[in-house]
Chains A and B, each alone.
Chain A
Amino acid sequence: MTITGSKKLQQAAGGNTDVALAARGLGHAYHGRNVLSSIDFEVRRGEFVCIVGPSGVGKTTLLRCLAGLQASTSGTVMIAGEPVTEPVPGVALVFQDYSRSLMPWASVLHNVTLPLRANGTSRAAAREEGLRALTLVGLDDVAAGMYPWQLSGGMQQRVAIARALAYNPALLLMDEPFASVDAYTRADLEDLMLRLQRELSLTVVLVTHDIDESVYLSDRVIALNGSPASVADIVEIPLGAERDQVGTKSTAEFAALRGRVHALIRGSRGSADATEARE
């Protein structure tokens, strides 16, 4: 009763049902040391948002709080209008280290279908959905039968993406998913994510330390800086739906956006540039 009541209240109070994810005054401390402080942002359904910041700023911590893997020390995370205290249905996560996030004893297909089997999907249906998800990321039946460690790093991360897609997520979280693959593979995987996000109308929150990557992929970039980290600014990326590695990245618009995000992340030292870039 109370839960339904409070839900109605929120919606009455302007709670937007288009908001897939919201962080409100989110803060996190490890052993009394503040890592995140009053993080505020919203992600709308169907949006591709990148959270960008230097290594060690607290991106993984933030993502773990968003996923409900870790309780924040202050503030709240709202997913579909409900506060998150533990992992909730419909949220998938692609971890940074594919070699550790895939089960080495299970075939690629078994890795992908584990979440489906766990939520009660029959073996046959899970197999079918798993193979379909693998096809979406460009892996065939042969790869499905292999062990993940028999594949290249890029292929393994595709498996992790397929596992997330098979879960049919309302929200897809990704923690530096392309940080440990080579530049060519990374470009391929970036384009794969852009295509999948468009075709499946996914809501994606991707964390990265790579400014180019954040601008290239996003509808909006959330720039983190400082210690403890907070949101420096949120930058709209009006580069349109069709993007490509060479064309998009060589436009003046891209360069300006990159410069702006860069300045934001550099914090106080770059704040003058940031103001400049904004004008």
Chain B
Amino acid sequence: MTPSTARVARTIGLEIWLPIVLVVVWWFASANSTSVYFPPLSSILGSFAHDWLDPAALPKNLVPSLQLLALGYLLAVVTGIVLGLVLGLVAPLERATRPLLEVLRAIPGVALLPIFIVLFGIDLQMKVLLIAFGAFWPVLLNTIDGVRGIEPVLLDVSRVFRVGRMRRLVSIVLPGASPQIFAGARTALAIALIIMVVSETIGGNGGVGYFLLNAQRNFAISSMWGAILALGILGYLLNIVLRIIERSVLRWHRLQQARLESQP
């Protein structure tokens, strides 16, 4: 227990020293700033605390973003995995759709914003769908690759022992593809975050993107910087959440990789 705790502490120490140094440098370098665009860090942090740490501000500033992100991202992950399994398992279908998928996924999600507004309006539905569309591709393509990369001997095993389709999917295909699926989900999260901010600048439903635009319009520069800081921290925390889930689901994979590396 103790050695592992020590290791975690060391990792955190290694990760955190540079940000601390940078913040300190920023603090002192900006302390006497009179520039309108680069206010002192103390004033940015003041805005940050006011806009993002005050429970009264959260329902307007943060909750809508989290809701939107959760809906869009989960929709992307679920549909990406389901369709990825289908296309990964049915080779002719995958071959037929591959060129189409390559074109569609090359379209940056935010480029579809105008069309989505025309099609779905400017409310939650449009934003969820836009996030889902953008974040869907990495999940889909990684799931397809993961499924196609499954050890063929295991599929033979499942045939010989007459493991039914559903059980094969759940016990062999899904776990076999899971390392790839998680890699796709991580990329998808970053994309979802970007589209979330952009889509929130449309309409007046609150959230981080709306807040940013509003701050800019009101020339509240400290608040803008504070919102950017909040976005960075939000992305970082969401990544940590995903990593914690991944570490537990892919525990076998991590341990096995570590073992392979430790062996010559």
Contacts and interface: CB of A to CB of B under 8 A. Distances in A.
A119 interface: yes
B119 to A, nearest CB: 41
Interface stretch (A33-41, A87-95, A205-213): A87-95
A104 interface: yes
Interface stretch (B25-33, B88-96, B162-170, B225-233): B162-170
Interface in B120-176: 151, 153-154, 156-164, 167, 171-172, 175-176
Given A89-B162, A118-B162, A101 B253 contact: no
The contact size tier of chain B is: 20 to 34
Contact of A105 (B159, B164, B252): B252
Interface string A97-128: 10011011110000000110111000000000
B163 A149 contact: no
A108 to B, nearest CB: 12
Interface in A203-238: none
Given A106-B171, A106-B175, A101 B153 contact: yes
Interface residues of A, number: 27
Interface string A118-162: 110000000000000000000000000001011000000000000
B159 A87 contact: yes
B171 A103 contact: yes
Interface in A54-101: 67-69, 86-87, 89, 91-93, 95, 97, 100-101
A195 to B, nearest CB: 23
Given A103-B172, A104-B252, A106-B171, A115 B162 contact: yes
B135 to A, nearest CB: 25
B157 A167 contact: no
Interface centre among B162, B167, B172 (most CB of A within 10 A): B162
Nearest to A111: B157
Contacts of B157: 93, 95, 101
B161 A147 contact: no
B30 to A, nearest CB: 50
A245 to B, nearest CB: 30
B95 to A, nearest CB: 20
A89 B252 CA distance: 31
Interface centre among B158, B160, B178, B253 (most CB of A within 10 A): B160
B255 interface: yes
B252 A118 contact: no
A118 B164 contact: yes
B133 to A, nearest CB: 31
Given A69-B160, A92-B160, A114-B163, A105 B175 contact: yes
B161 A69 contact: no
A118 B170 CA distance: 12
Contacts of B160: 67-69, 87, 91-93
Given A87-B159, A100-B151, A117-B167, 10 more contacts: A87-B161, A95-B153, A101-B157, A114-B163, A115-B161, A115-B162, A118-B162, A118-B163, A119-B162, A147-B255
25 contacts: A67-B160, A69-B160, A87-B159, A87-B161, A93-B157, A93-B160, A97-B153, A101-B153, A101-B157, A103-B172, A103-B175, A103-B176, A104-B256, A105-B178, A106-B171, A114-B158, A114-B171, A115-B161, A118-B161, A118-B163, A118-B167, A147-B255, A149-B256, A150-B259, A163-B161
Task: List the 3 shortest-distance A-B pairs measured between CB atoms, nearest first.
Answer: A115-B161, A118-B163, A100-B153
